[in-house]
Structure 1
Amino acid sequence: MRQIPPALQAHLDSGVTTLCRLLKITLADGRQFGATTLDRDIEFEGLIYYAQNGFDSSIIASDTSFDVDNAEGYSLYSTDVPGITVEMAERGELDGAEWAMVLVNYRDLSMGALLLDGGDIGEVRTVKNTVFIPELLSYAMRLRQSIGHVDSVTCRAIFGTPANSQTGCGVNAESLWQPATVTAVDGDEPKVTYKVSNIASLPTAAKRWRVRWVSGDNVSARLYQVEAVDTATGQITQIEPLPFAVQPGDALEIREDCDKQFSTCKYHGNWLDFKGENLIPIGQASDTPGAGVPGSTGGGSSFHFSQQRH
């Protein structure tokens, strides 16, 4: 049941209304950005909702069966409006952001607001460098998500998370980061190869790697996967696309990543926190590619058990 302020309810019942929607986006670092469906700016509860950054909510669906609520907002960027920029979206600064949409009477904001929906921002894209399209995922969608774990040969933990967390790993990944600086760039998208300094001390036995950029155009909190690292020559091959070109002098941090295998967990001395069932018997890899991985499909049964009768 929605909580509607009495004054706003009376306005809704009047038959002639002056209503508009306000969309507030709160970034993970606390910064807030507002947009409105009205043709002029509105200041509400200390935040300015910009009309020139107007949005169009394509759908907000909700019913008593708790089906997935979803909406998609379209917002135009404007260089003279403080708030979100295309570069911010490209760098991933909208990752982990939250949104809330309310209904207000723009002629009398003292009536309060009716909360229509709220939730997390999903995928963010840019179109022709002028539009960002955040996927607005309602909190009600979480009621449709499965809670619990399935059996898997590989580990289900997120590498670097605390052992006592929901995705508990137990390895202190922050201590593994090694600073480096780009000295030369060779190649362009989709695969970029660049040389860096100061990575000769990295472990050569690592099978996967992650980098995060701390200076340059690509600086963000995102962790990017790289295809190969040559610690002897300092050469890194970037497999995951970057939003901006790599330039000599850009600073980054690199660390090994986990391949979710039990042997890797033992290498880190963390086997007691292994979140997998590595002793489950499985079929031959040629018969069942990806067997033991949740959600995988193969040519036969994922698990092979034998039974003896006495």
Structure 2
Amino acid sequence: MSMSDDMRAHLSGGITTLCRCWALTRKDGVQLGFTDHDGDLSFEGIVFRADTGLTALALQQGTGLSVDNTEAMGALSDASISEADIAVGRYDGAEVRCWLVNWAIVAMRVLQFRGTIGELRRSGGAFEAELLGLTDLLNRPQGRVFQKPCSAVLGDGSCRMDLDAPGYRTEAVVTRVDGTRIGLDGVAGFDSGWFQRGVLEALGGAAAGLRGVIKADVVGVDGREITLWSGLGADLALGDTVRLTAGCDKRMETCRFKFDNLLNFQGFPDIPGNDWTVAVPASATATGGSRR
């Protein structure tokens, strides 16, 4: 935490005009501002609203690699944070910044906390969010896993596959919705099963920005039908546009023939299986120590 001389003098003056402001940035780019002051404030291009009822518990900060954390609580409302948006995961992993601000002179402020939203709970028209500091990233597992299937996520920095290349992504129009089964129109030139294990992303409507993993991809007499492993959390409507991304089953053959990306394959296809690792020397005849 870096503090200016003006802010330090204000804090030591005995009478202060302080409040806290939070900026929340979701992964889809939506940015919200909140403050516990009794009036709206604005800085860094963000309007911090005072009518949200958002409050925070004591901030825990430490030296070294200990994880900074706090919790924020607030009321659910359609104007700011809605229960529907929480339910579909729009706030999962959102970035949070917290300032201590002199509300009389907003330029006099200090950034106290920066991190992400962890566990988020909701009940009775209110929510409670766990806020995790930047050092929480050090708790994530690192390193390679020795296994036959590829350990990369299709299109990530290890895979390096360009999914925007022709043949791996396409847009379609929803023609039928039956739970997790979705009928599509406008998907031509792709074999049945091409998008299995891939991703469906809604581009418009109530589910815009939400993604689901594809369980099955079948081309039948009535057109193409996609089945998701679970619902998107918001309803798709007839006429909504979705984007389909090809799926990968992590096998070397798929990497080579479907994606032509064998040089970046992150698995170990020749690693011995479990049967080999537990095998012991054996002989069909008795071993009495002689040459025979």
Fold shared, TM-score > 0.5 on shorter chain:
yes
1:120 aligns with 2:116: yes
Question: Are the aligned partners of 2:52 and 2:75 in contact in 1 as well (CA < 8 Å)?
Answer: yes
Q: Distance in 2 between matches of 1:239 and 1:66?
A: 38
Alpha-carbon shift at residue 202 of structure 1 (Å): 1.9
Measured in 2, the distance between the counterparts of 1:183 and 1:29 equals: 26
* 2:286 match: none
Partner of residue 187, structure 2: 199
Cα pair 1:180 1:199 within 8 Å, conserved: yes
Q: In 2, are the aligned partners of 1:89 and 1:132 still within 8 Å (CA)?
A: no
Structure 1: 5+ residue stretches without partners: 285-302
Residues 134 and 255 of structure 1: is their aligned pair in 2 closer, same or farther, counting only changes over 3 Å? same
Confirm or deny: 8 A CA contact 2:211 2:232 kept in the other structure: no
Deviations 1:94-142 (A, max 9, x none): 56643211102223435x11211112345666656x5555543322222
1:17-96 correspondence runs (5 A): 17-27=16-26, 32-79=31-78, 94=91
Instruction: Please provide the CA RMSD for this pair.
Output: 3.0
What amino acid maps onto 2:114 in structure 1?
Answer: G
Residue 84 of structure 1: how far off its partner (Å): 6.0
1:152 paired residue among 147, 155, 169: 147
Instruction: Give the deviation of 1:240 after TM superposition.
Output: 2.3
The answer to whether the aligner puts 1:223 opposite 2:211 as a matched pair is yes
Change (3 A) 1:250 1:24: same
Q: 1:210 to 1:26 in 2, by over 3 A?
A: closer
**% identical equivalent positions:** 29
Letter paired with 2:64: S
Q: Distance in 2 between matches of 1:145 and 1:226?
A: 26
Q: Aligned to 1:100, what secondary structure does the other structure show? A: strand
What do residues 52-92 of structure 1 show as CA deviations (whole Å, max 9, x unaligned)?
A: 1232223532212321222332343555x5x6666665666
What does residue 277 of structure 2 align with? 304
Q: Residue 16 and residue 28 in structure 1: after superposition, are their counterparts in 2 closer, same or farther (change >3 A)? A: same
**Are 2:209 and 1:213 aligned?**
no
Determine the C-alpha separation between the residues in 2 that align with 1:57 and 1:104.
Answer: 15
Is the Cα–Cα contact under 8 Å of residues 26 and 33 in structure 1 kept in the other structure? yes
Q: Is the alpha carbon distance of 1:125 and 1:195 closer, same or farther for their aligned partners in structure 2, counting shifts above 3 Å?
A: farther
Cα separation, 2, equivalents of 1:49 and 1:91:
24
- Which of residues 210, 226, 237 in structure 2 aligns to 1:236? 226
Supply the distance in 1 between the matched residues of 2:147 and 2:59 (Cα, whole angstroms): 36
Residues 67, 144 of structure 1: 8 Å contact kept: no
TM-score by length of 1: 0.75
TM-score normalized by the length of structure 2? 0.79
Which segments of 5 or more consecutive residues in structure 2 lack a partner in the other structure? 282-292
Deviation at 1:47, TM superposition (A): 3.0
**2:254 maps to 1:259:** no
CA distance 1:127–1:219, change in 2 (3 Å): farther
Relative to structure 1, is the Cα distance of residues 274 and 33 closer, same or farther in structure 2, using a 3 angstrom cutoff?
Answer: same
Q: Distance in 2 between matches of 1:30 and 1:244?
A: 19
Deviates more, 1:196-205 or 1:229-238: 196-205
Residue 195 of structure 1 aligns to a residue whose secondary structure is strand
Residue 275 of structure 1, aligned match among 266, 280, 288: 266
Instruction: For residue 144 of structure 1, report the CA deviation from its aligned partner.
Output: 3.9
Look up the match of 2:169. Answer: 177
The answer as to whether partners of 1:199 and 1:231 remain within 8 angstroms in 2 is no
User: Matches of 1:5 and 1:178 in 2, distance apart?
Assistant: 52
Q: In 2, distance between residues paired with 1:105 and 1:86?
A: 32
Distance 1:109 1:252 in 2: 43
Task: State the one-letter code of the partner of 1:52.
Answer: D
Q: Which residue of 2 aligns with 1:99?
A: 96
Task: Tell me the amino acid that sits aligned with residue 247 of structure 1.
Answer: A
Aligned residue identity for 1:198 = G
Check 1:250–1:109 CA distance in 2 against 1; reply closer, same or farther (3 A cut): closer
Q: Residue 50 of structure 1: CA displacement?
A: 0.8
Q: SS of the residue aligned with 2:274?
A: coil
What secondary structure does 2:33 align onto? strand
The one-character-per-residue Cα deviations of 1:225-256 (angstroms, maximum 9, x if unpaired) are 12211122412222222122222212212232
Contact 1:25 1:97 in 2 (8 A): yes
Alpha-carbon contact 1:25-1:98 (below 8 Å) kept: yes
Which of these two proteins has the greater Rg computed from alpha carbons? Answer: 2
What is the alpha-carbon distance in structure 1 between the residues aligned to residue 219 and residue 57 of structure 2?
49
